[in-house]
Amino acid sequence: MQKPIEQVSLQTRIIKYIQEYIQEHKLQPGDKLPSQGALSDMMGVSRTALREAVKTLEAEAVIEVKNGKGIYVGRSQRPQDAFSSVLAFNNEKEQLLEVVEVRQALESEILAMVIRKATDAELNELGKIEAILMQKFHAGQRQVQEDHQFHQQIYELCHNKIMAAMIKLLNDKMDALWEFPLNMTDPFRESMPYHHDLYLAICERNIHKAQAINTKLLGCVYADLVHQTIE
């Protein structure tokens, strides 16, 4: 009888890789692991994704991160089974949903600031990013980088250092939304057309319209995450 391949999140696979590395190399508590840069290269994943997995393993005392010294094997070593994989998946999913909720709250205020403060020249620069983003979307090409740049540029145009600092605190989690989270192959396509509408509303200096469109945009992101499951 053929057994279907289990689809697990990127975070779960990174966690499993590190645990297997510890077991295969017979590392003991206090032994040093490769650096985060080396682990990232070995697994072929971004440092952002690796950092989130490292935080999870550190919270479970599987590893210990010593500032300026590196990563060491921690006190607790628990085997990674199917149940813990599901828990890791669900925890990541829950965190991402909460990030989207916080994004919606913060971005509503950020859009109001952008519309009040951004110059026409700055909006023209934002338009260049939006144009490439939509061009790639309609051509069926990946537009992850441009999507990320579009939103980051909006954050910068609010010209508020406190708000920028608040967004920076979320950056690691927010960046995961552009990393194809939960093993999603082509996420958030439904949200793409709203980027053009959002840009037009910003250029019209229409705060309520821009906020409403952004709510729809993030609603698509939220719905995609809600419906993603381990198959």
85-142: per-residue pLDDT in tens? 444 545 677 878 888 898 899 999 999 999 999 999 999 999 999 999 999 999 988 8
201-213 pLDDT, tens digit per residue, is 999 999 999 999 9
Position 24 pLDDT exceeds 70: yes
Q: Is the pTM of this model over 0.85?
A: no
Quickly tell me which residue has 């590190």 as its tokens: 18
Asked if 45 and 12 touch (Cβ cutoff 8 Å), the reply is no
Element of type H or E holding 73: strand 70-73
Is 94 buried (19+), middle (13-18) or exposed (0-12) by CB count in 10 A?
Answer: exposed
Taken in order of first residue, the domains within the chain and their CATH numbers are 10-73 (1.10.10.10), 90-227 (1.20.120.530)
Q: SS3 of 97, please?
A: helix
CB 96 within 8 A of CB 176: yes
pLDDT score recorded for residue 97: 85
Place of tokens 């967004």: 167
In the block, residue with structure tokens 């419906």: 227
pLDDT at 17 over 70: yes
Cβ atoms of 69 and 187 within 8 Å: the answer is no
pLDDT band at 76 (very low <50, low <70, confident <90, very high): low
Instruction: Look at residues 167, 165, 153 and name the one whose alpha carbon lies nearest to residue 122.
Output: 153
Lowest mean pLDDT across 3-7, 180-184, 203-207:
3-7
Q: What is the mean pLDDT of residues 26-46?
A: 90
User: What burial letters (b/e) apply to 15-34, b meaning 16+ CB within 10 Å?
Assistant: bbbbbeebeeeebeeeeebe
Instruction: Report helix angle 10-24 to 36-43, nearest 10.
Output: 110
- The residue among 77 and 138 whose pLDDT is bigger is 138
Q: Write out pLDDT tens, residues 46-73.
A: 888 888 888 888 877 889 999 888 999 9
Q: Indicate the pLDDT class of residue 179, thresholds 50, 70 and 90.
A: low
Euclidean distance between CA atoms 21 and 15, whole angstroms: 10
Residue 34 has pLDDT above 60, yes or no: yes
Question: pLDDT grade, residue 5 (50/70/90)?
Answer: very low
Strand, helix or coil for residue 121: helix
- Which residue has better confidence, 64 or 9? 64
Return the half-sphere exposure (C-beta side, CA atoms, 13 A cut-off) of residue 179. 22
Q: In the numeric block, which tokens belong to residue 56?
A: 């999870």
Give me the pLDDT at residue 6, please: 41
